[in-house]
């Protein structure tokens, strides 16, 4: 199911170190955001926005989808030049999509056995798999203009659906948790299999604009594959990023930036932020050649899916195993470690953050070992 490769992975000679750094920073942020010592004590930048608006934590997932999109042309270019037909490549894409979806369902089902009647269908890996599949399909079947057109069509079509299709019991354009069209669709198709009772942040309809996020990465990749100098590419990334951030903020006036709804304004805004972040990484790593500081992120980025799956499983184990306090009350292993090793001397907030940082460093160690042995787990 998983392939273990030596060397630096496919297309080593064409690898963008700055993209590996960006990927590693993103996966590190994912682990950090998902694993506080206590959910009751989290600094606000590491919390998702309650509904409308954004925090730094809300940039993490779209950044990863953007990176997936950037990698699609880079990874397919060699195979296409070697004569692989699009149909053969698409079968490989389908296989990877199925594996990602299955891994996501496995994480949702943990700890086993888990009732299939209540298992959540959506999730981070499921969304990554679907976005990867459809973005790859669009890339293989269209050119740059077609990909740009598909991006605009997805964003405009989603805006029209969310703002002009009424939900029973509500007027059209309601965008709260109960009355929005995306939640209504999820309740019809996946009732009983959602993240919460009436909605899922990785639901079906919200996958459409998430595909657009991935396509923004695909379109960016075309620019990165030009013969421009690293300095020119950096300026292009920064300029395009600033423009999209501004446009996204203007769109927010009519369709609020909202991660749970994956609103069209959210796609444009976070796509702009991703371009700015990638531009910064390109300037520092590829133009100024300062990369020693980034080695831990390169290590994480080269086995990104593997470390995400393993850290998620580890976090669930911490939340499943229970110990008994001196007063006889049960407590999860996560809470026990947080209270005794961190909060007891660093305080609730700092202790929760230090727990998350320690958990991240613990996963960096085995990933560094794999990196030194040139082992890269590919789906």
Checking if the pLDDT of 3 tops 90, the result is no
Q: Which of 207-211, 225-229, 253-257, 372-376 has the lowest mean pLDDT?
A: 225-229
Mean pLDDT of 310-322: 95
Q: Which of 17-26, 81-90, 277-286, 312-321 has the lowest mean pLDDT?
A: 81-90
Which pLDDT band holds residue 13 (cuts at 50, 70, 90)? very low
Checking if the pLDDT of 2 tops 50, the result is no
The answer to whether 133 and 93 are in contact (CB under 8 A) is: yes
The answer to whether 353 and 36 are in contact (CB under 8 A) is: yes
Mean pLDDT of 204-224: 96
pLDDT value at residue 110: 83
Mean pLDDT of 253-265: 96
Distance linking the first and last C-alpha atoms of the chain: 7
Instruction: Give the DSSP letter string of 231-282.
Output: HHHHHHHHHHHHHHHHHHHHHTTTS---TTTT-HHHHHHHHHHHHHHHHHHI
* pTM over 0.75, yes/no: yes
* Beta strands, E only, 25-172: none
pLDDT value at residue 370: 95
Checking if the pLDDT of 215 tops 90, the result is yes
pLDDT value at residue 123: 93
Q: Give the pLDDT confidence of 106-135 residue by residue, as tens digits.
A: 999 887 666 677 788 999 999 999 999 999
Instruction: Give the DSSP letter string of 77-105.
Output: HHHHHTT--HHHHHHHHHHHHHHHHHHHH
């Amino acid at each position: 199911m998983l392939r273990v490769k030596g060397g630096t992975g496919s297309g080593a000679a064409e690898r963008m170190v700055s993209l590996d750094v960006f990927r590693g920073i993103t996966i590190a942020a994912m682990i950090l955001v998902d694993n506080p010592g206590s959910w009751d004590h989290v600094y606000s930048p590491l919390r998702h926005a309650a509904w409308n608006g954004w925090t730094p934590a809300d940039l993490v997932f779209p950044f990863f989808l953007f990176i997936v999109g950037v990698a699609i042309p880079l990874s397919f270019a060699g195979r296409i030049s070697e004569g692989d037909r699009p149909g053969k490549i698409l079968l490989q894409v389908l296989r990877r999509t199925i594996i990602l979806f299955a891994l996501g369902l496995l994480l949702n089902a943990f700890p086993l056995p888990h009732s299939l009647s209540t298992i959540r269908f959506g999730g981070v890996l499921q969304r990554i798999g679907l976005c990867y599949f459809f973005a790859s399909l669009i890339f293989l079947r269209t050119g740059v203009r077609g990909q740009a057109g598909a991006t605009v069509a997805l964003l405009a079509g989603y805006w029209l659906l969310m703002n002009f299709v009424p939900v029973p019991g509500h007027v059209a354009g309601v965008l709260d948790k109960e009355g929005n069209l995306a939640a209504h669709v999820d309740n019809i198709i996946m009732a009983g299999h959602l993240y919460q009772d009436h909605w899922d942040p990785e639901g079906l309809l919200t996958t459409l604009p998430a595909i657009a996020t991935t396509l923004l990465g695909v379109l960016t990749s075309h620019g990165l594959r030009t013969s421009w100098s690293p300095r020119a590419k950096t300026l292009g990334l920064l300029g395009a990023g600033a423009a999209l951030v501004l446009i996204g903020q203007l769109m927010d006036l009519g369709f609020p930036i909202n991660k749970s709804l994956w609103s069209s304004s959210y796609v444009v805004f976070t796509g702009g932020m991703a371009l700015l972040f990638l531009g910064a990484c390109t300037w520092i790593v590829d133009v100024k050649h300062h990369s020693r500081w980034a080695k831990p992120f390169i290590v994480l980025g080269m086995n990104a899916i593997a470390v995400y799956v393993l850290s998620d499983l580890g976090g669930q184990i911490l939340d499943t195993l229970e110990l008994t306090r001196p007063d006889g009350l049960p407590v999860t292993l996560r809470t026990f470690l947080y209270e005794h090793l961190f909060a007891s001397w660093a305080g609730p907030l700092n202790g929760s953050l230090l727990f998350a940082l320690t958990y991240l460093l613990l996963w960096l160690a085995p990933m560094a070992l794999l990196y030194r042995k040139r082992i890269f787990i590919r789906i």
